[in-house]
Amino acid sequence: MNERDNSITTRDLCLWYGKFQALINVTINIRHGLITSLIGPSGCGKTTLLRCFNRINERYGYVTTTGEIKLLNKNIYDPDVSLIELRKSVGMVFQRPNPLPISVYENVVFGLRIHSDRKPARSELDDAVEKALTEVGLWNDLRDRLDTKATNLQLEQQQKLCIARLLPLKPEIILMDEPCSALDVEATRAIEELMLSLKGRYSIVIVTHNMAQARRASDECIFMLLGEIIEHARTADLFLNPKNPKTAEYIEGRYG
Amino acid sequence: MISRRRRYEILSERSIETLIYLCGISAIIFVFGICFFVFREGLPLVFKEDTNFSLGKFFFSTEWFPTSMANKRYGALALIVGTLTVTILAMVIAVPFALGATVFLSEFCGGKFRETLKIVIELLAAIPSIVWGFIGLTVINPLIIQVFHVPVGLNALNGAVILALMAMPIMVSIGEDALKAVPDSYREAALALGATRWQMVFRVLLPAAKNGLLAAVLLGVGRAVGETMGVLMATGHAVNIPFFRDDGSFNWGWMFESVRTLTATIAAELGETSQGSDHYRVLFLIGVLLLSITFVINLTADLVVKGIRKQK
Ligand SMILES: Nc1ncnc2c1ncn2[C@@H]1O[C@H](COP(=O)(O)OP(=O)(O)OP(=O)(O)O)[C@@H](O)[C@H]1O
Ligand SMILES: [Mg+2]
């Protein structure tokens, strides 16, 4: 396999919340341009692993990490890595849609505003908003309501907006933590379609509890259990003939 | 036997309920009682005939000579201006500090240090105002004289510094609650987009918490308006509108002028009046005025806070 195909690789990644070890020797290769889903029962460390990739876990003072994480072949714990640049190139979508309590427009350009040294031109921002909203399929619905407070939108729109606000920063990787768990069936389908349309340009890692969703939407699948990686394979392989009996038990719905 | 016991239980339950009810409404009774008392003592003067007092003069005259033998005058304008000057100046000093302290407490420090800091700030609130008065007299007074090269250090600035220190704790603790009420998901949203902590504070937290912070400031203002002993000792106690010189030109050194506040006037003069006299009643009118001001401020703060709850 070519080195350049990897977008996220970890080696012997361990993470402790205080004394509790939540990740145990995680070693994975997540391939570039694909949708990779992280599955596993509740509390197995999916969210924790995802939050390592943009180092947002470090918000909590009591977290310790050891091991190596490379994004696009760059170790993100190297001293010369800027947290700001890292987070600019790794977007994150949260479980509960969390648009900021400002207008739709300002939500989309938030990233541009905080990352540009000079004041961005109005036309530049306008273009970015139209482009990003078009890409997530919100432009037609919201073009006349760009001043609405984003927290007043429907949940589905909020979640799409949360994806849209990543795009102006041209991220390489998008991390999604159960992006559909607060949404209904229709909205879930819409988000999945959106993911498929974004695939290729971005590497997407999605945490999901929904087996059907993992099967429908992802190219590769990683099964975790109690902080460890049990199996990582192409989605079809993992679901049709899992190598590890624990994987089989899980996807047959025996626990979690 | 059984039935008697039941009756006893019912009775005791009833009496406890009544007791709790009384405790609950006692606060209301006290507030109304105090209002009633203050109004009863003050208002008769407004309707009294053959007196030097008039409402117009009370609000618009600066001549406060309540003990003059020949010509008693009751103009409270200078006192009102004194209170406003000291309060506003105090807020100008306190708000930036309180805001900084609030943000630091809730976003930039954690664990033990934060708890310690909170305790210290609460201690600040527990210092009796007379002690602040001492500090005004013996610490800030010479400090102002030295730093600004002015003849007296007992002036509006001195009072304002003291009020600022006294109002800070309540502003910080209410303000911290306001920041705490901002959902963590907003912080994560901003950080995950690559915002620095400062950007997160200025672009997300402060706007999101602005109502709560406003309420914090208002409660601080309420505290400052009502404060008496500290300002009585620190402001120099001269009935004086600080903004104009004798020739009518604007006085740029207004913060170094001695002033007197509404509260200090009551505290200093009430003991020397005879009950029921005009002077006595006008001091109660000042009390009515203070009550109204603090009532309006607290009500506004309350509505602002309610506004926050509704938004959620
Ligand atoms: N901030 C935290 N502090 C302490 N422990 C935590 C924290 N976050 C998660 N944990 C613990 O780490 C383990 C992994 O949690 P994590 O949230 O990563 O699981 P998950 O697989 O995402 O679960 P779910 O499917 O319920 O979202 C759990 O046992 C959890 O209790
Ligand atoms: Mg999770």
Give the closest residue (by CA) to ligand 1 atom 16. A45
**CB atoms < 10 A from the CB of A43, how many?**
12
**Do A94 and B195 form a contact (C-beta atoms < 8 A)?**
no
Q: Which pLDDT does position B307 carry in this prediction?
A: 72
Is the CB–ligand 1 distance for residue A22 below 6 Å? Answer: yes
Closest ligand 1 atom to Cα of A41: 25
The minimal CB distance from B194 to the residues A88, A99, A101 is found for A88
pLDDT score recorded for residue A117: 83
Name the residue among B95, B234, B235, B250 with its Cα closest to residue B174: B95
pLDDT at A35: 93
- Between the two ends of chain B, the Cα-to-Cα distance in Å is 55
Q: How far is the CA of A196 from the centre of ligand 1 (A)?
A: 28
Strands in A63-71's sheet, in edge-to-edge order, are: A20-31, A6-17, A63-71, A74-75
> What's the CA angle centered on B176, arms B175 and B179, to 5 degrees?
90
Give me the DSSP letters along A26-87.
EEEEEETTSEEEEE-STTSSHHHHHHHTTTGGGGSTTEEEEEEEEETTEETTSTT--HHHHH
Tens of pLDDT, residue by residue over B194-245, are 999 999 999 999 999 988 999 999 999 998 998 888 899 999 888 988 898 8
Distance A207 CA to ligand 1 centre (A): 13
A91 touches chain B (CB under 8 A): yes
Confidence (pLDDT) at A72:
84
Phi/psi class of residue A164: alpha, beta or left (left: φ > 0; alpha: ψ in -120 to 50)?
A: alpha
Residues of chain B with pLDDT under 50: none
Q: How far away, in angstroms, is A176 Cα from ligand 1 center?
A: 15
pLDDT (0 to 100) of residue A1: 47
Reference A53, options A226, A206, A178, A175; nearest CA is: A175
| Structural domains of chain A in order of their starting residue, each with its CATH number | 3-251 (3.40.50.300)
Count how many pairs of residues, chain A against chain B, have C-beta atoms within 8 Å: 65
Interface of B with A (CB under 8 A): 110-111, 183, 185-196, 199, 203-204, 207-208
* Whole-number pLDDT of residue B69: 85
Q: Which of residues 45-64 of A touch B (CB under 8 A)?
A: 54, 56, 59, 61
Alpha helices in A136-256 (DSSP H): 139-142, 155-164, 185-198, 211-217, 235-240, 245-251
| C-beta atoms of B185 and A98 within 8 A | yes
Distance from residue A23's CA to the centre of ligand 1 (Å): 10
How many helices and strands, by DSSP H and E, does chain A display? 10, 10
Could you say which residues from 93 to 112 on chain A have a Cβ atom under 8 Å away from some Cβ of chain B?
94, 96, 98-102, 110-111
What is the nearest CA distance from A178 to chain B, expressed in angstroms? 15
* A173-177 and A74-75 beta bridge pairing: unpaired
Give bridge partners of residue A207 from the DSSP assignment. A38, A177
Label each residue of B46-104 as H, E or C: HHCCCCCCCHHHHHHCCCEECCCCCCCEECCHHHHHHHHHHHHHHHHHHHHHHHHHHHH
Q: At which residue do the structure tokens 């997530």 appear?
A: A136
Q: Low-confidence residues of chain A, pLDDT below 50?
A: 1
Q: Domain-by-domain residue ranges, chain B?
A: 4-45, 77-276
CA distances from B265 to A229, B76, B120, B141, B279 (A): 76, 10, 32, 21, 11
The rounded distance, in Å, linking the Cα atoms of A53 and A71 is 8
Q: Which two tokens stand for residue A199?
A: 């695939």
The answer, for A113 touching chain B at a CB cutoff of 8 Å, is: yes
Query: Average pLDDT of chain A?
Result: 89
| ipTM of model | 0.90
Quote the pLDDT of residue B266.
93
Residue B195, min C-alpha distance to chain A (Å): 6
Give chain A positions within 8 Å (CB) of B194. Answer: 83-88, 111, 114-115, 169
Which one of B110, B111, B194 has the shortest CB-CB distance to A87?
Answer: B194
Residues B290-309 have pLDDT tens digits of 999 999 998 998 888 777 66
Residue A57 near ligand 1, beta carbon < 6 Å: no
Whole-number Å distance between alpha carbons of A70 and A6: 9
Given this model, what pLDDT does residue A4 score?
Answer: 60
Interface contact A171, partner B, CB < 8 A = no
Whether residue B194 and residue A115 make contact (CB cut-off 8 A), yes or no, is: yes
* Structural tokens at position B153: 């250090």
H or E stretch covering A150:
none
Closest residue on chain B to A61 (Cα): B110
Asked if residues A102 and B208 have their Cβ atoms less than 8 Å apart, the reply is no
User: How high is the pLDDT of residue B237?
Assistant: 87
pTM: 0.84
Q: How far apart are CA A146 and CA A164, in angstroms?
A: 13
Report d(CA B190, CA A88) in Å as an integer: 11
B77-276: in CATH 1.10.3720.10: yes
